[in-house]
Amino acid sequence: MEMAVEATAPGKAILFGEHSVVYRGPAIVIAIDKRARIVAESREDSRIYFDALDLGFSGYFEGTRYFPVRGKSWHGKRLRAILVTAHRTMEHIGVHTGLDIKVRSEIPVASGLGSSAAIFVSTAAAIGEVLGANLSLEEICNLALEGEKVVHGTPSGVDNSISTYGGALRYERDLGFDKIEPLGTFYFVLGNSKRRRSTKRLVLRVRSLYERHPKIIERVIETIAKTSDMGLDAMKKGDLPYLGELMNINHGLLAAIGVSITKLDSMVHASRVAGAYGAKLTGAGGGGCIIALTDSTHIDWINNAIRKCGGEPFPVNISKEGVKTRRIER
């Protein structure tokens, strides 16, 4: 019987430590219950066929050459990193075959929510299962990092790790990853500014500010790192009011290093007025999303407040589940 495999993996949001983590201290990151989904099955020929019809295109690669079926030939560029992940996965297993790969995702792209990593994690997991290789989570995570390198150059490895393992992680440059066990249920609302931004550009902008005002920015970075440490403590204790307050402080510090924009500030303030424990921008800033911490009773208020600012709200919880696969018999 023909067999396809569906793999899904979660996106992420950074709760504390964006930008400071580039220099020192931890980042605290959570998996969110918005997932990317890949359905893969092998083909008789050697083509790698992609159906990304949600994004408006489909086509196939013969070797490294892209042939569009729906859409334009430049759409092939947007598939290259998935192609690299697919090739690396097959090389790793030592079996090469043609593939049909269907790409779907509930995670907004280029918003700091780890949509590309979730796609690469799902791709490696689905292909592993199609080829009957029993890939470990560590292998899947490393293979997804190959796709991340194509997109981001020198990725920290945060996005593919959280997407593979799920839950919540503490990450620090020289120390790597530690799983966190948050206490209780956390309700968040993300607000998407719908402005795309480049993480690389924002990291460079912070570096240039650092070079111009080393004494001041050094202190800000240190203080952000402190909010991460204290935020981690608050998560472990389930102290939501305190956690919210730290998120507010962290947002102010991110604004001080120049990575907030008016729309993010508006959504952050409107969420607080609507009853959030706290709110801050999440990820590199310059666009992308905010994250508000709330209880279950204020979700609708915060949704409306974000909409009024022209943002797109979506409530999320921490996803305990990392990558998952399921066989589909045809």
Which residues bind to ligand PMV, rule: CB under 6 A? Answer: 14, 18-19, 21-22, 112, 156, 199, 203, 283-284, 288
Inter-residue contact 300 to 189 (CB < 8 Å): no
Residue 130 Cβ, how far from ligand PMV at the closest point, in Å?
Answer: 29
* Dihedral pair phi/psi, residue 42, rounded to 5°: -85, 155
Distance CA 204, CA 137 (A): 32
Place of tokens 């964006």: 18
Residue 295 Cβ, how far from ligand PMV at the closest point, in Å?
Answer: 26
* Dihedral pair phi/psi, residue 208, rounded to 5°: -70, -35
Residue 109 Cβ, how far from ligand PMV at the closest point, in Å?
Answer: 12
Nearer CB in complex with ligand PMV: 14/40 = 14
Nearer CB in complex with ligand PMV: 82/291 = 291
Residue 92: CB atoms within 10 Å = 18
Place of tokens 């921008």: 281
Nearer CB in complex with ligand PMV: 18/41 = 18
Pairing of strands 168-172, 176-180: antiparallel
Question: Is 159 considered catalytic here?
Answer: yes
> How many residues are there in the chain?
330
Residue 24: CB atoms within 10 Å = 15
Pairing of strands 289-294, 168-172: unpaired
Nearer CB in complex with ligand PMV: 129/148 = 148
Residue 185 Cβ, how far from ligand PMV at the closest point, in Å?
Answer: 24
Place of tokens 């605290």: 28
Inter-residue contact 290 to 279 (CB < 8 Å): yes
Residue 156 Cβ, how far from ligand PMV at the closest point, in Å?
Answer: 5
Distance CA 113, CA 28 (A): 14
Inter-residue contact 187 to 306 (CB < 8 Å): no
Identified catalytic residue from 33, 159, 229, 265: 159
Nearer CB in complex with ligand PMV: 99/290 = 290
Catalytic positions: 159
